[in-house]
Amino acid sequence: MKGLTDHFGLGRALASTFVVLALSTSGMIAVVAGYPVTVTVTGPYVDLHTSPGRGYPVFEVAEHGDRLTLLKQRTTWIKVRTTAGKEGWVSEGQLHDSLRAGGVIS
């Protein structure tokens, strides 16, 4: 990604926007070294689970407008960090609209 930003003179936020939009259309999330990808919750809320799976308890709720940093993906679950520093797992389906909207802050 650094080569892309250097070559085309793109800023960090624009490069991250490109990554999120490209990855969200394929249904996959990737963590790009040196470029934390942050999205804004566009739906009413998303549930943060203690581990990746519906059977694990919800310990936190991120509401509309909250920012989440994407950390990694395991199957259809994405590990995120809130601005308060809480880390949990969100179903990809709950983040789908946020990713499609390209709610990147980075």
Containing structural domain, residue 22 = 2-100
Q: What is the pLDDT of residue 18?
A: 41
31 within a domain of the structure (yes/no): yes
Q: What is the pLDDT of residue 84?
A: 96
**Count of domains in the chain?**
1
Q: Looking at this protein, which amino acid is placed at residue 98?
A: S
Percentage helix, strand, coil for the chain under 3-state DSSP, each rounded to 5: 30, 35, 35
In angstroms, the Cα distances linking 73 to 33, 35, 88 are 14, 16, 11
The phi and psi torsions of 11 (rounded to 5 degrees) equal: -75, 165
36 within a domain of the structure (yes/no): yes
pTM of the model: 0.67
Condensed to tens digits (0 to 9), the pLDDT of residues 4-47 reads 344 444 444 444 444 444 444 444 555 555 567 889 999 899 99
> Tell me, what CATH number does 60's domain have?
2.30.30.40
106 within a domain of the structure (yes/no): no
